[in-house]
């Protein structure tokens, strides 16, 4: 399946007021797409739309809480009213909570699931009602936490596991009915966004993300690639892919890394804003955060996987190397 060029598309992006959503909106507009931006921060969205229009792009903003189905329906309605519909829908909106599961208030657990899981469910089901008639792409942003557990971000990992299960099931149902809709799950590793700064924090230290950390533009590029050239899953960051493979091989060894993973999620300074943006919009408007460690410039692994011939060449090379090693081993005398 192949979709329209970006310059001919209308793209809906939730969580567009910061981080990956904002980076994707700006990149899509610069590549000629008309964009519909959705988030809770009305003033920030208005400023971003102004920036895009000042550069010659076309954009419209919708204030919405993706955890509310009526709000998400309003996003789709605005896209139809302004641009006649949409070709790609990207579910990015998400938040996290740092702290031991036993210490986190039920209301915080509930709110995180409402945004991360139900926001994705709402966006996907409403988007697909339009896309199954007109064709297009649904892109959900999961995480390496769709495949890995992270102590002290337990409900975040739970929500991303659930997003993966939902996305995979929806894809299968669309295939069964022959709908002209591609479904992609993008799974970033740690990304330099304000996610930790906007988190609800129960720890005694300011939160951060474990390295390696990648720039949000790398995720935005993968999302927009999938809008034209669909792929089932895209890992952003070779480091994340390596951790997932390692856990699959030796899950017990990964579990033993729990103390190190907890330590890597803590900065040396006390909490700045423990309340975060979980229950109300706050600290929106920035693509990037301020991680205390080096941020990778790109991900060679991700760039390679976006091009099937390169991926095939890598796989063929690995297979040939393995076959050669087995052949040499077989020739050794016993």
Q: Which residues are designated catalytic?
A: 156
Helix (H) or strand (E) segment spanning residue 152: none
Angle at 37 between CA 35 and CA 41, to 5 degrees: 160
Handedness of CA 262, 264, 265, 267 (dihedral sign): positive
Give CA–CA dist 60/78, Å, rounded: 8
66, 115 in Cβ contact below 8 A? yes
Q: Are 305 and 311 in contact (CB under 8 A)?
A: yes
Q: Specify the DSSP class assigned to residue 236.
A: E
DSSP 8-class letter at 114: I
* Beta pairing partners, 214: 191
Residue whose structure tokens are 């966004």: 193
Question: Is 314 in a helix, a strand, or coil?
Answer: helix
CA 249 to each of CA 74, 105, 242, 253, 257: distance values in angstroms, whole numbers, following the listed order = 45, 34, 11, 9, 14
| In contact, 63 and 39? CB cutoff 8 Å | yes
Contacts of 312 (CB under 8 A, 6+ apart): none
How far is it, in rounded angstroms, from Cα 242 to Cα 252?
16
Q: Can you read off the two tokens belonging to residue 204?
A: 């005694």
């Amino acid at each position: 399946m192949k979709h329209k060029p970006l310059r001919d598309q209308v793209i809906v992006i939730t969580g567009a007021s910061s981080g990956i959503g904002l980076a994707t909106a700006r990149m899509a507009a610069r590549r000629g797409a008309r964009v519909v931006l959705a988030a809770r921060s009305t003033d920030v969205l208005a400023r971003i739309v102004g920036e895009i229009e000042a550069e010659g792009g076309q954009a419209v903003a919708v204030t919405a809480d993706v955890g509310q189905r009526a709000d998400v329906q309003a996003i789709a309605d605005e896209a139809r009213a302004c641009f006649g519909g949409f070709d790609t829908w990207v579910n990015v909106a998400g938040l996290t909570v740092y702290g031991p599961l036993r210490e986190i208030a039920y209301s915080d657990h509930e709110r995180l699931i409402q945004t991360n899981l139900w926001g994705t469910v709402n966006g996907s089901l409403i988007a697909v009602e339009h896309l199954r008639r007109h064709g297009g792409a649904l892109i959900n942003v999961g995480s390496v936490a769709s495949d890995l557990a992270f102590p002290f971000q337990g409900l975040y990992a739970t929500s991303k596991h659930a997003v993966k299960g939902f996305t995979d099931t929806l894809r299968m149902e669309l295939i069964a009915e022959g709908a002209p809709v591609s479904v992609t799950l993008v799974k970033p590793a740690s990304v330099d966004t304000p996610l930790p700064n906007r988190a609800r924090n129960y720890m005694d230290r300011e939160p951060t993300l474990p390295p390696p950390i990648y720039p949000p533009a790398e995720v935005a590029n993968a999302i927009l690639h999938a809008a034209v050239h669909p792929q089932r899953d895209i890992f952003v960051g070779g480091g994340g892919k390596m951790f997932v493979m390692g856990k699959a091989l030796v899950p017990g060894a990964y579990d033993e890394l729990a103390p190190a993973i907890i330590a890597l999620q803590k900065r040396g300074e006390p909490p700045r804003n423990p309340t975060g943006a979980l229950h109300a919009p706050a600290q929106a408007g920035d693509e990037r955060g301020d991680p205390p460690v080096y941020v990778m410039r790109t991900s060679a692994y991700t760039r390679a996987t976006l091009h099937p011939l390169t991926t095939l060449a890598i796989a063929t090379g690995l297979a040939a190397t393995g076959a050669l090693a087995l052949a040499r081993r077989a020739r050794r005398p016993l």
